[in-house]
Structure 1
Amino acid sequence: MDALEQLLEAADLSDRLQLAGAAVLVLLAGRGEAGDAAARIGAELRNRGWRGDEDLADEIDVAMAGRRRALRPVPVDLGELADFAGGGVDGGDALLDLETGRVWPAAVLDDPGVEVPDVEEDQARWLVVPPTASREGWRDMRDFAESLNGPVRESMLNAIEGRGAFSRFRRALDLSGEDVLDSWLAFREERRLGRARAWLAAEGYTPA
């Protein structure tokens, strides 16, 4: 709990609001003190308005009021889910086991050499996780580039024009220094987590 409370005490949480909001929910579930931080982070999430931000803000409001959540909790690692529903590196179709929270890539489910659950036996237990379109990743690059200033902003915006945008963007990052790279990694993670949370909420679930 101490680590979560220290996270919430940071003056600027703009690059980790999804993480901070999840920390608030953990503290509230454990009857910890998070009132001021919860209200602040909920307001910042609504103000930022990325995908998944309002869903998380709604959950914080419900938890603060001590009400029962309408969404069904699933013991899923949101970061793992984001690898498929949030534009992660793995891509491809996958299935979410609503009982265990495990995400099964389609390639693994189809592998005869791997022991996997029988999907046909209880289809209500499974949720198809659709892959994220590449345009979502491109929008992340564009929005990140537009958040920068000076020559690095122009370099990043030029890198994403036309075919080969993703590889040129990575090269531009390599030339931009560690601070820009760290900012991008935090930005991308927030987008991924938000998209995964939004998709899960749209299906009627929330990460437990």
Structure 2
Amino acid sequence: MNTWDGASLERLRAAVHRRDGAEGVRLLAEYPPGPVLQYAGDVLVAALGAGVPEAGPLARQCLEALTARALPGDAELADDLAAALGLRPPPEGHAVPVDLGELGSELDAEPEGEMEGEVYVVDLRHGDVLSVGELNGEDTGEVEPAFDESDERYDAARWLPFWPDRANAERDMADFAAAVADEALRPALAAALAGRWPYRRFLEAIRDTPDDTRWLLFREERRRGRARAWLAAHGYRPGPRGL
């Protein structure tokens, strides 16, 4: 099988976004699903819904892999796959058209940015992920009416708040560094994580190595899974846009 790279991952992202099950099945026949289970499960749900040939065996393989791996978000996606395969009823939860990649990125926060302490919300109607400052007109001076308690259009039920947690990204870097097989790279990553500006130094150490793409896949898997699990914990699941 081929090895995932930036171009093939972008094709998979696009297939998931478009709910293009046929393209997803083509890609998963060429590339191993293991590094991209959070994407693979979603595109296979779409493929099963569209009756794409050969989707069934791939979906069962993905279901088994998600169940065995059991990381955050894997059980929720496994439930979706099992329902699409007709093995169990559809899972409960209100569908929200949120982009899992965007939500996962904001849930993690920038490891060395200025987001710490800032409150964000998911717009449960449209799926947007927004900062409270943005909704309060921090940049434009125009407050979103549905977010303004003094406005008759205020809708408290529309917003699901959260605080970004950079500890997630720090754990991801540590877990990835511990699993790196390159004996020359491993000490460099350990040194980066032990010093100041660990995220920046981590990226510098891994840049232009074979593990650069592996890190991209690892990080996106973790982020999407956490975003899916976080939504489920609040009684929601990703709708079509979030796939």
> TM-score category by the smaller chain?
0.7 to 0.9
Whether 1:116 aligns to 2:137 is: no
Residue 172 of structure 2 corresponds to 140
One-letter identity of the residue aligned with 1:36: P
Change in CA separation of 1:59 and 1:86 when aligned onto 2, cut-off 3 Å: farther
One-letter identity of the residue aligned with 2:187: E
Whether 1:67 aligns to 2:89 is: yes
Gaps of at least 5 residues in structure 1 are none
Q: 1:4 aligns with which of 24, 40, 59?
A: 24
Displacement of 1:173: 1.6
Q: 2:45 aligns with which of 17, 21, 25?
A: 25
Equivalent-residue separation in structure 1 for 2:142 and 2:223 (angstroms): 28
Equivalent-residue separation in structure 2 for 1:125 and 1:42 (angstroms): 33
Deviations 1:20-49 (A, max 9, x none): 011112223334342111111111112222
Whether 1:42 aligns to 2:68 is: no
Number of residues paired by the alignment? 205
Residue 224 of structure 2 corresponds to 193
Structure 1 residues 54-203: aligned runs within 5 Å: 54-65=75-86, 67-87=89-109, 91=115, 92-111=118-137, 112-114=140-142, 116-119=144-147, 120=149, 121-131=154-164, 133-149=165-181, 150-174=183-207, 177-203=208-234
Change in CA separation of 1:72 and 1:108 when aligned onto 2, cut-off 3 Å: same
Secondary structure at 1:16 match in 2: helix
Equivalent-residue separation in structure 2 for 1:47 and 1:87 (angstroms): 28
Displacement of 1:9: 1.7
Report the TM-score when normalising by structure 2: 0.76
Secondary structure at 2:194 match in 1: coil
Once the two structures are aligned, what percentage of the paired residues are identical?
36
User: Contact conserved, 1:85 with 1:199, CA < 8 A, in 2?
Assistant: no
Deviations 1:56-94 (A, max 9, x none): 112211222273331211111111212222445784421
Deviates more, 1:17-26 or 1:104-113: 104-113
Displacement of 1:13: 1.7
Change in CA separation of 1:3 and 1:178 when aligned onto 2, cut-off 3 Å: farther
CA-atom RMSD in angstroms? 2.1
Equivalent-residue separation in structure 1 for 2:35 and 2:145 (angstroms): 38
Secondary structure at 1:51 match in 2: coil
Equivalent-residue separation in structure 2 for 1:124 and 1:31 (angstroms): 36
Deviations 1:129-188 (A, max 9, x none): 331x222111101111122112112221232124432232122123xx242211111111
One-letter identity of the residue aligned with 1:147: A
